[in-house]
Amino acid sequence: MIKILISIAVAASLLSACSGFNQFRLDVQQGNVIDATQVAQIQPGMTPQQVRFLMGTPQIDGAFKREDRWDYVYYRRPGIGPTEQRRVTVFFENGVVSYVDSDVPQPIALDEYPVELDDN
């Protein structure tokens, strides 16, 4: 009888360890932090040195032996919440920026924010 009670207690404790409690997970962050204001500052005609100063060292520069393309990738998986991914590709022609391809939303200018004034 005691063996049965011990077996039930052990089984119950093992099963309770498999319950649906959220475990603590560390935040995982990889790549350069990409800010919308940084991306907006990249302009055609900038030199690679200016882009590197603004954005940092690219994760992939000269991918597939192409010296005219730099890729910046940002990935963040918080312990709780949705995963965030951003990508910016800077293309160069003749040693200057020709265009930027990005999935980062453009920043909203301060004058575009709706302002409500109270008459009180």
Q: What is the pLDDT of residues 5-36, one digit of tens each?
A: 788 878 777 776 665 666 777 888 888 888 88
Give SS3 for 6.
Answer: helix
Tell me, what's the pLDDT at 49?
Answer: 94
Residue 23 has what DSSP assignment?
Answer: P
pLDDT for res 120: 57
Check residue 32 and give its pLDDT: 82
Distances (CA, A) of 3 to 6, 8, 10, 46, 67: 5, 9, 10, 78, 72
25-108, CATH topology level = Beta-lactamase Inhibitory Protein; Chain:B, domain 1 (3.30.1450)
pLDDT at 81: 82
CA nearest to 104, candidates 84, 81, 117, 88: 88
Sequence spans of domains, the chain:
25-108
